[in-house]
């Protein structure tokens, strides 16, 4: 087969931080505003339909369900129309992280087909939340090339984390375990680098959607990126 006939992979634009701070603040505020409004509306409607009175519990339940439904309906809309300002672009030649947020404008680029130092780690979520269930897996990846550094992560169900694309993601070991001194020095040094990368993720990492993260890892593998441990 003549490789010159193979079409290059299309450019992929990946939105980052889909549930950024603005959305996390806006949705509860919408709920706080919507609940008393719906309470008044349902009070008028239900009392008109059931004039015998004693409808307070039903009215409150209807307002609560309506508020939660409104928030659930607005969540994907807000994510679509209110991006975080950070995007990741994967092409045949490069991986570029662009930040257009006011006062934080920057662009970080990593050239593919060139040596990239990397770290990849995982851990199990112990406490669930509204958007990440307990028992899900956090997958983190830090790419470093010269002065360019990207720390990317996602959350996936445990079964999804078993996919072969994630076989090189190392289980994160807690500092208390490292301090016991039961591991070889080389492994201790490696896990300390992973813990530092995890701090970088916590402080300023970029969250990627599950499907986009899978496509990113597969794209790097497909592009035959030369990776080595940082």
Please report the DSSP string for 99-119 in residue order: E-STT--EEEEEETTS-EEEE
Average pLDDT over the chain, rounded to an integer: 83
How far is residue 197 from each of residues 100, 120, 205, measured CA to CA in Å?
24, 9, 9
**Rg (alpha carbons) of the chain, rounded to whole number:** 23
| 30/67 Cα distance (integer angstroms) | 9
Q: At 4, list the tokens.
A: 């010159």
Please enumerate in sequence order all residues whose Cβ is within 8 A of that of 152, keeping only pairs 6 or more positions apart, or say none. Answer: 16, 88, 140, 141, 142, 143, 205, 206, 207, 208, 213, 216
Per-residue pLDDT reduced to its tens digit, 8-35: 567 888 888 877 667 778 888 989 999 9
- Predicted TM-score (pTM) of the model is 0.74
Collapse the DSSP code of 59 into the 3-class scheme (helix H, G, I; strand E, B; otherwise coil) and give the result.
helix
Q: At 121, list the tokens.
A: 């780690």
Strands 137-145 and 86-90 turn out to be: unpaired
Per-residue pLDDT reduced to its tens digit, 74-119: 877 877 777 777 889 988 888 999 888 777 778 899 988 788 888 9
| 130/26 Cα distance (integer angstroms) | 15
Q: At 97, list the tokens.
A: 């992280």
For 159, other C-beta atoms within 10 Å of its C-beta total: 8
More confident residue, 65 or 7: 65
């Amino acid at each position: 087969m003549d490789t010159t006939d193979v079409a290059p992979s299309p450019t992929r634009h990946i939105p980052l931080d889909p549930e950024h701070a603005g959305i996390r603040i806006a949705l509860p505020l919408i709920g706080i505003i919507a609940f008393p409004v719906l309470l008044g509306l349902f009070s008028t409607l239900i009392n008109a339909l059931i004039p015998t009175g004693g409808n307070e519990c039903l009215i409150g339940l209807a307002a609560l369900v309506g508020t939660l439904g409104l928030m659930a309906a607005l969540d994907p809309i807000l994510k679509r129309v209110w991006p975080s300002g950070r995007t990741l672009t994967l092409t045949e030649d490069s991986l570029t992280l662009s930040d257009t947020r006011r006062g934080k404008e920057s662009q970080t680029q990593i050239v593919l087909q060139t040596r990239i130092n990397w770290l990849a780690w995982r851990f199990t979520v112990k406490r669930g939340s509204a958007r990440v269930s307990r028992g899900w897996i956090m997958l983190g990846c830090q790419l470093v090339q010269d002065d360019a550094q990207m720390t990317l992560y996602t959350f996936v169900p445990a079964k999804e984390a078993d996919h072969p694309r994630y076989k090189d993601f190392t289980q994160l070991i807690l500092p208390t375990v490292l301090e016991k001194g039961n591991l070889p020095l080389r492994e201790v040094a490696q896990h300390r680098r992973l813990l530092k990368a995890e701090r970088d993720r916590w402080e300023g990492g970029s969250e990627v959607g599950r499907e986009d993260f899978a496509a990113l890892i597969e794209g790097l593998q497909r592009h035959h990126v030369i990776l080595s441990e940082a």
